[in-house]
Structure formats: C-alpha cells, structure tokens
Amino acid sequence: MVTAVRLADNPFKSAASSSNKFLELHAKGFYGFYSRESWTPNVNLYETDWAYMVCVDLAGVEKEKIDLDIGEGQLTIRGNRPVPSCSDVGTETSNTRVRVHLMEIDHGAFARAVELPEDVQRDKINAVHKNGMLWIELPKKG
C-alpha cells in the first residue's frame, strides 16, 4: 500500500518541483534540435520502513556509462546519453539520408543531484540498472 507523504515529512528536502521541468522545457524550445550542455533526468523518490529508493529514468544509457558519487550529504548521478539513431533498431540508414523532424529526447551529458537524508547508511548504498531505470537503494540506519 502506498501512502501519501506530506511535504513537511519529506526527507529529501530539496527535491526538484514540477515547475523546474516546465522551465527546462521552455528553455529548450518546442523544436529543440540541439542539446544544451547538460540535461537533468527525471527522478522518483520512495521510502519504505527500511530504505529510501531513488529511481532515475536513464533510458538509452548503458550502465557502464553511469557514475555515482556520494558526497557530503548528496548523491550525484552523472553520465552521457547518445542521440538515438535509426540504426539502433536495425533500420538500414547507412546509404540513406535521414531528416529529423522533431527531437524531444534529451541527449548528451547529464547530471542529477539528490540530497541524502541524514539516516542513510552510506556504506551500504546499492544500485541496479534495469529496463532503462537506475534504482538506487539507500538503507536506513538502525
């Protein structure tokens, strides 16, 4: 059963709001063919009795290209996602001209920082990359 968490009870004090995503899309423009210097992957934050769970949407990013850094009170996820290509699915494009009509999928370097709650066992953090999602388990102390 999933229960709602009041904002005051949120251990991830500075999680990005939905307005940040709106501002990011606005800055990119409707026909954003060119990537900015970096982009920010979407994150879901969960809590169980024994751990916090961070789910990061990293579709198209190989797990070997993801870097996790645990700093002072913060978890930072970095990496690089290539531009999706028609050839990625076996479509013959080597001798064919391909026109891009719309490019909404972010690509290039990315970084995302998540503030760590105080009761995290930093030495027991575990990450799993599955189906384009990076799941990071942050076990609670005690």
Alpha-carbon distances of 36 from 40, 85, 93, 119, 134, rounded to whole Å: 11, 19, 26, 35, 23
Asked if 123 contacts 81 with a C-beta cutoff of 8 angstroms, the reply is no
- Structural domains in the chain, CATH included, are 43-83+101-142 (2.60.40.790)
- Say how far apart CA 90 and CA 13 lie, in whole Å: 44
At 68-121, the pLDDT tens digits run: 999 889 999 999 999 888 877 766 656 677 888 898 999 999 999 999 999 999
At 31-70, the pLDDT tens digits run: 445 545 679 999 999 999 999 999 999 999 999 999 999 9
At 61-80, the pLDDT tens digits run: 999 999 999 988 999 999 99
Q: pTM to 2 decimals?
A: 0.73
Determine how many CB atoms are found less than 10 A away from the CB of residue 121.
Answer: 12
